Chains A and B, each alone.
Chain A
Amino acid sequence: MILSKQKPWEEILGYLDGEKSVFLLGCNGCAQASGTGGPEQVTEMKDKLEAEGKKVTGSTVVDFLCEKALVKSRLRGKLEQVKVADSILVMTCGVGVQAVAASVNKVCHPACDTVNLGGSRGEWKGSERCMECGECLLEYTGGICPLTACTKGLISGQCGGASKGKCELNPEKDCGWELIYKRLKAKGQLDMLKKPIPPKNWDRMMPDVSVMATSHWALERTD
């Protein structure tokens, strides 16, 4: 699941400056769940653009814009509408925009910003967050991740900014290190707080090079 939000209207209009017509592409996957690029938002976008005097040559909502084979097959029946448009406005996450831009020889404008999930994963709502740091510290912190529970991501202990158990940046948010302290205390593990934690190897947080390069699905293979 990738979370997105629509860019400010002025920003989207700015992208379309000097263009007369546009083709709209929405996504029935995460963008629909985010309320940013589902059928409803595509219709809204069409109305708003037309009110600004733009010609919308056509639109479609693909199940998953991140899947290039799907993008190509779904656009096949709309080729004429795409061809006559000055550009495509893609209403989905950064992966989807990249997949469309790679599939169609047309200027592709992103309509959304992809929002950092802050380490939450999956569909089930919960308070646990993992940043995929590649160097798990949960052994030392009572099973609460300091990188995500502490606003500063401090790994050696609490800063001096907590007040009444809350974070100095957001009085609504519990101080992550207070949570860690209470958990360790409950489990009889307070000695963990004395263990020096070496500086993190942030390089491990970068994805493996083989993952950063496009991973080719069978359908995409060109060879």
Chain B
Amino acid sequence: MSLQSVLESGKFVVTAEVGPLKGTDTTEIIEAAEVLRGRVDAANVTDQQSSVMRLGSLVVSYLLKQKGLEPVYQMTCRDRNRIALQSDLLSAWVMGIENVLALTGDLPALGDHPQAMAVYDLDSVQLLSVISKLNEGHDMVGNELAGKTGFFPGAVVNPGADTEASFELQLFKMEKKINAGARFFQTQAIYDVDSFAKFMKRVEGFKVPVLAGVIPLKSAGMARFMNKNVAGVFVPDELIKRMEAAENKTQTGIQIAADLMKQLKGVCQGVHIMAIGWEKRVPQILEAAGF
């Protein structure tokens, strides 16, 4: 079932994430696909995540599709100009990929090739409008396509912006993304459901489904690291203490993620689990959450 029809059915949606590795060995990806198939509604495939060079998201999305797992093809504007972006979108459609998540992309300076030229010919909002045009049967400058696309485009938003200006800017940009064609949103990891509920109240009027980000904690150190270094992520002290005190950290991390998911069920339209190496534990998390 396509992600679009699951979202339209009103079911609480679960998506996961697969991060391609550096190299040509696809064993991990195939194993993750087999574990996730039938347990999640779709899986994102990250595009050179954190600006670290890896196997491409287009071909891994295709592999997931072949394995019967619905892919969400992540596409950033960092590494390709408008010609390459449009061409890859056409290729994706030919490969049977239906969902695209449009992102601007991290700066190369954050990755393992900091010398690379950042492209940013387009940004996430403009990429969404390009996808909308391809869906209408034209390229971005209006030339007719022989065979159009039918993508279901999505985008991201950071509900945890920590200043008034940034919070409002995120809402303005979210609205721009919707006007440019975004049909669903995935968010940065949420640990404070009350604050997130306030965000959801603000975006209620947009009538676009939001899948809240869930990152299972592996340790207290990981939580502290994210608080310090990942914009928009705030792990409350109480959870950090719980992880610190836990005898079985894996079990506690899974339980916290499951509890968050249960709370989020009443707040938004779905969750997006970013397991970061724990892809194979996603079914355990779902089970603990009663999903």
- In the complex, the answer to whether B82 meets A199 with C-beta atoms within 8 Å is yes
- In the complex, the answer to whether A158 meets B163 with C-beta atoms within 8 Å is no
Once the chains are docked, how many angstroms separate the CA of A168 from the CA of B51?
14
Once the chains are docked, how many angstroms separate the CA of A163 from the CA of B227?
10
Which residues from 160 to 192 on chain A have a C-beta closer than 8 Å to any C-beta of chain B?
A: 160-165, 168-169, 175, 177-178, 181-182, 185, 190
Once the chains are docked, how many angstroms separate the CA of A157 from the CA of B158?
13
**Is B173 an interface position by the 8 A CB rule?**
yes
- In the complex, the answer to whether A155 meets B231 with C-beta atoms within 8 Å is no
With A178-B163, A196-B129: A169-B107 Cβ-Cβ less than 8 Å: yes
- In the complex, the answer to whether B129 meets A158 with C-beta atoms within 8 Å is no
**Is A125 an interface position by the 8 A CB rule?**
no
**Is B268 an interface position by the 8 A CB rule?**
no
Chain B's nearest CB lies how many Å from the CB of A112? 20
Once the chains are docked, how many angstroms separate the CA of A160 from the CA of B177?
14
Once the chains are docked, how many angstroms separate the CA of A194 from the CA of B169?
10
**Is B125 an interface position by the 8 A CB rule?**
yes
**Is A159 an interface position by the 8 A CB rule?**
yes
Which residues from 111 to 146 on chain B have a C-beta closer than 8 Å to any C-beta of chain A?
A: 118, 120-126, 129, 140
Q: Which residue of A lies closest to B187 (CB)?
A: A160
**Is B109 an interface position by the 8 A CB rule?**
yes
Pick from A160, A193, A196, A200: contact of B156, CB below 8 A: A160
Q: Which residue of A lies closest to B104 (CB)?
A: A159
Once the chains are docked, how many angstroms separate the CA of A157 from the CA of B165?
12
Which residues from 41 to 100 on chain B have a C-beta closer than 8 Å to any C-beta of chain A?
A: 82
| Residues on B with beta carbons closer than 8 Å to the beta carbon of A156 | 123-126, 173, 176
- In the complex, the answer to whether B169 meets A177 with C-beta atoms within 8 Å is yes
- In the complex, the answer to whether A199 meets B126 with C-beta atoms within 8 Å is yes
| Residues on B with beta carbons closer than 8 Å to the beta carbon of A190 | 168, 172
With A160-B156, A162-B231, A182-B165: A198-B126 Cβ-Cβ less than 8 Å: yes
- In the complex, the answer to whether B231 meets A160 with C-beta atoms within 8 Å is yes
Number of A-B contacts (CB under 8 A): 91
Chain A's nearest CB lies how many Å from the CB of B166? 5
Once the chains are docked, how many angstroms separate the CA of A160 from the CA of B20?
22
What size tier do the contact residues of chain B reach? 35 or more
**Is A143 an interface position by the 8 A CB rule?**
no
Once the chains are docked, how many angstroms separate the CA of A166 from the CA of B114?
20
Chain A's nearest CB lies how many Å from the CB of B22? 23
**Is A154 an interface position by the 8 A CB rule?**
yes
| Residues on B with beta carbons closer than 8 Å to the beta carbon of A159 | 104
With A157-B125, A159-B104: A181-B231 Cβ-Cβ less than 8 Å: no
With A151-B107, A199-B82, A199-B121: A181-B126 Cβ-Cβ less than 8 Å: no
**Is A124 an interface position by the 8 A CB rule?**
no
Q: Which residue of B lies closest to A179 (CB)?
A: B165
Once the chains are docked, how many angstroms separate the CA of A156 from the CA of B169?
10
Which of B123, B124, B140 has the largest number of chain A CB atoms within 10 A?
A: B123
**Is B161 an interface position by the 8 A CB rule?**
yes
Chain B's nearest CB lies how many Å from the CB of A24? 31
With A159-B104, A163-B231, A196-B179: A181-B169 Cβ-Cβ less than 8 Å: yes
- 4 new A-B contacts at CB < 8 Å, known A156-B124, A199-B121: A156-B176, A158-B169, A169-B107, A190-B172
Residues of B at under 8 Å CB distance from A?
82, 104, 106-107, 109-110, 118, 120-126, 129, 140, 156-158, 161-163, 165-166, 168-170, 172-173, 175-176, 179-180, 188, 231-232
Q: What are 22 A-to-B residue pairs whose CB atoms are below 8 Å? A: A151-B107, A152-B104, A152-B107, A152-B118, A158-B166, A158-B173, A160-B157, A160-B188, A163-B232, A165-B163, A165-B165, A168-B231, A169-B110, A177-B165, A181-B165, A185-B165, A193-B172, A193-B176, A194-B175, A196-B180, A199-B82, A200-B121
